[in-house]
Amino acid sequence: MPTWSMISFQDSASSSMEQLIFFHDFSMSILTLITVLISTAIIITYCSKNYDRFLVQDQKIEIIWSSIPVLILIIMAVPSLQTLYILEDPFPPSMTLKATGHQWYWSYEYADFPGVEFDSYMLPSSNTTKLNRLLDSDNSIVLPVNTKVRMIVTAADVIHAWTVPSLGVKVDAVPGRLNQLMFTLKRTGFFYGQCSEICGSNHSFMPIKIESVPSHIFIKWLVSQ
């Protein structure tokens, strides 16, 4: 979960987030290398007193510094397209969960299990710890680990956004429209998110809490509902 001291991504809990972190690190390494090389060239040029007053152009250099950026963009495009493919439609789902945004809480419905539905409200600060203040809710989304989940997201009033950073997923909840996203939980634990669309005065008070559990515990939870 996020903490105040974090300066990087949350620990990934899905293959989508793993791919996003890989692409981020890959892109930043290339950008850092380019920045260092260009900065070094500028400093050397500025500090050097040698110059060629008769040098007008050099075709070889022109070709080189025009070709290198093209190659860099191609190298970055390959993992980018792979990441987009994984995020959009990576697999046929094993279960479907519908989330509906309201002002200001979430409603959930397990489409494969009729009658399993509930509302999720934020817990007051007096019932939470400092770490999960404004992130904990009275009802968690319970999902089995290593299961392909499809989220159907919509809204009942205004535009919301269903977002869980550790899963690498974010989608707008638009009234009258169904949007979907897919993910697979890779490990057990609690994963938190929030509405990421400014939806009104209590926008920051509609958290998302996912509880990832083994399959047998998920079945027991279903029976208890």
% of the chain residues with pLDDT over 70: 93
Q: Are 49 and 57 in contact (CB under 8 A)?
A: no
CB atoms under 10 Å from CB of 209, counted, come to 23
3-class SS of residue 186: coil
- The pTM assigned to this predicted structure is 0.80
- Give the pLDDT score at 89: 66
Provide the token pair at 154: 């919509």
Report the alpha-carbon distance of residue 198 to residue 185 in Å, rounded. Answer: 27
Report the alpha-carbon distance of residue 66 to residue 47 in Å, rounded. Answer: 25
- pLDDT surpassing 80 at residue 60: yes
- Give the pLDDT score at 119: 93
DSSP 62-110: HHHHHHHHHHHHHHHHHHHHHHHHHHH--S--SEEEEEEEETTEEEEEE
93 Cβ contact list (under 8 Å, min separation 6)? 148, 149, 150, 182
Lateral strand order in the sheet of 95-102: 117-120, 105-110, 95-102, 148-155, 179-184
CB atoms under 10 Å from CB of 123, counted, come to 17
Q: Which of 10-24, 45-59, 199-213 has the lowest mean pLDDT?
A: 45-59
Report the alpha-carbon distance of residue 25 to residue 35 in Å, rounded. Answer: 15
pLDDT band at 90 (very low <50, low <70, confident <90, very high): low
Give the single-character DSSP code of 195.
E
Q: What is the dihedral of CA 211, 140, 178, 204, to 10 degrees?
A: -110
Report the alpha-carbon distance of residue 10 to residue 155 in Å, rounded. Answer: 27
| Closest C-alpha to 75, from 34, 103, 106 | 34
pLDDT band at 1 (very low <50, low <70, confident <90, very high): low
- Region 99-122 average pLDDT: 92
Residue length of the chain: 225
